[in-house]
Amino acid sequence: MTADPGDAVDWRRPSPLLLRARRIQVGITAIPLAFIGGLAAQTVSAWLGIGIAIVVIVVAVATERFLARRVAAWGYAERHQDLMIRRGVLVRRQSVIPYGRMQFIDVTAGPIERSLGLATLRMHTAAAASDARIPGLHRDVAAALRDQLAALGEAQATGL
């Protein structure tokens, strides 16, 4: 049993489509890699080529098993004065970012995210170490959250 300050928090989660986005990402790296690696190695011996392709595929499948847990680990909670974000399976992290400290908020979407209607929300504070982001939000949710955070940030803004 570990004392986890997040236990009492009512977490909201990214869209379930995030898992699919992550799977596609693994797929489009692993399959060409297996193919090219296999082709390159088969110039030495056909079995080596098949072996390498299989290893790459096995690693990809193992990553895929892990993905579900990683995606499930993401969560955020809008509290009264600050935003709380958690992530990570092996190294677990939780951050608290006061609304007043947010300098600007980005919504970005890569090609895979865009095709699934997802977006990543990124919050910037004056500290480089803060690194607060929420991936895999539905596009409308991300936009609404961005506007809401911006309004809260403006209301509670403080100087450096």
Query: How far is 160 from 45, CA to CA, in rounded Å?
Result: 63
Cα–Cα distance measured from residue 157 to residue 25, given in angstroms and rounded to the nearest whole number: 38
Q: Which is nearer to other proteins, 119 or 132 (CB)?
A: 132
Closest by CA to 37, choosing from 46, 25, 49, 29, is 49
Min dist CB 146 to other proteins, Å, is 18
Q: How far is the CB of 25 from other proteins (least distance, A)?
A: 24
Q: Which is nearer to other proteins, 54 or 126 (CB)?
A: 126
Minimum CB distance to other proteins, residue 74 (Å): 15
Q: How far is the CB of 85 from other proteins (least distance, A)?
A: 10
Measure Cα distances from 117 to 16, 21, 24 in Å: 12, 10, 14
Nearest one of 95, 140, 100, 98 to 121, comparing CA atoms: 140
Among residues 42 and 94, whose Cβ is nearest to other proteins? Answer: 94
Q: How far is the CB of 127 from other proteins (least distance, A)?
A: 4
Q: Rounded distance, CA 134 to CA 127, Å? A: 18
> Which is nearer to other proteins, 31 or 131 (by Cβ)?
131
Give the span between the Cα atoms of 105 and 123, in whole angstroms. 5
The residue (of 1 and 43) whose beta carbon lies closer to other proteins is 1
Binding site for other proteins (CB under 8 A): 2-5, 81-82, 90-98, 100-101, 125-130, 132, 158-160
